[in-house]
A = this chain, B = another copy of it.
């Protein structure tokens, strides 16, 4: 990668690490094909202390979204509530014939599927006219994804998880916006955590972006602004390891501003469109990172399937680290 990176760099890396056709012409699972029963068996052996730690940010109106790309924070509304029961009206008017004693409460959510802690499905990114595995982009129409849907991961996302805590490895509170993560930083964090990253692993890269937002008392431009993240120099490290998925605590996984002036989101193009790699975003690693720092163990069993929304290109989830 001598010279300034540009779209030709992206095309070259994409071709070099492409997995198109590797799992057949009809594939929609991409790198989740790499997870075999032995990986799940092995992951279960990592459960020692019996702790379960969520990596989900709460889903609510205080989330990081500010409207960019049409994304807003989840809107939660009650359909039926308990205050009605106290007040008495709704019993009389709506549930009168049913019961004087029992009442249920119910609610509704309106949310972009990629507004909080989330998996990107393989149909989430279009490069030119194509998506993962070379499918035409019109497979993702106004009716949803016929190819590359989130439901492909319905029975998956179980395996060995590894936390790469970059700020702790580098002795800082968080990585600054614009910091590009490459192989050197990933190796340093793996070494710090005394783990090796290999086939079918679920890799969690902490940049400290959520810690920073909390320290600063607000999200600011966390969603869509400059951010630390994976850069072009991470491609080989990621591509050669045959990992199952990778997630960060940032809005968009890769470093912003992008390193290629003539094409946006190059890592999404390389990772999703060509590798078929599953990307996670807005994972909250803070509780897990504190725990790993305390017990010195940076590997664990990971269980984090998406919700199977039919024809969707993303999904919120509650990712669980079990130690």
A contacts, CB < 8 Å to B: 7, 36-41, 43-45, 47-54, 56-62, 67, 69-72, 74-90, 93-94, 98-99, 101-114, 123-129, 131, 136-146, 151, 154-158, 262-266, 268-269, 287, 301, 303, 305-314, 316-318, 320, 322
Q: List B contacts of A101 (CB < 8 A).
A: 7, 127-128, 262-264, 269
Q: List B contacts of A98 (CB < 8 A).
A: 264
Q: List B contacts of A127 (CB < 8 A).
A: 101-103
Using known A-B contacts A44-B44, A49-B37, A101-B263, determine if residue A89 contacts B320 with beta carbons closer than 8 Å: no
Cβ-defined contact, B126 with A104, below 8 A: yes
Bound together, the chains give a CA A307 to CA B309 distance in angstroms of 14
Q: How far is the CB of A312 from chain B (nearest CB, A)?
A: 5
The one of B44, B47, B102 in contact with A269, judged by C-beta atoms closer than 8 angstroms, is B102
Bound together, the chains give a CA A53 to CA B311 distance in angstroms of 20
Cβ-defined contact, B36 with A309, below 8 A: no
Cβ-defined contact, B79 with A112, below 8 A: yes
**Among A79, A128, A151, A316: residue with most chain B CB under 10 A:** A79
Q: List B contacts of A305 (CB < 8 A).
A: 52, 54, 56, 318, 320
Cβ-defined contact, B317 with A307, below 8 A: yes
Closest residue of chain B to A90, judged by CB? B141
Q: How far is the CB of A271 from chain B (nearest CB, A)?
A: 12
5 A-B interface contacts by CB (under 8 A):
A72-B72, A83-B86, A99-B264, A99-B265, A104-B265
Bound together, the chains give a CA A301 to CA B75 distance in angstroms of 33
Cβ-defined contact, A155 with B109, below 8 A: no
The one of B80, B85, B137, B263 in contact with A99, judged by C-beta atoms closer than 8 angstroms, is B263
Q: How far is the CB of A244 from chain B (nearest CB, A)?
A: 12
Using known A-B contacts A37-B50, A137-B82, determine if residue A318 contacts B301 with beta carbons closer than 8 Å: no
Q: How far is the CB of A316 from chain B (nearest CB, A)?
A: 6
Q: List B contacts of A306 (CB < 8 A).
A: 318
Cβ-defined contact, A313 with B105, below 8 A: yes
The one of B50, B75, B87, B308 in contact with A39, judged by C-beta atoms closer than 8 angstroms, is B50
Cβ-defined contact, A106 with B70, below 8 A: yes
Q: List B contacts of A47 (CB < 8 A).
A: 40-41, 43-44
Cβ-defined contact, B303 with A59, below 8 A: no
Q: How far is the CB of A67 from chain B (nearest CB, A)?
A: 7
Cβ-defined contact, A143 with B105, below 8 A: no
Cβ-defined contact, B320 with A84, below 8 A: no
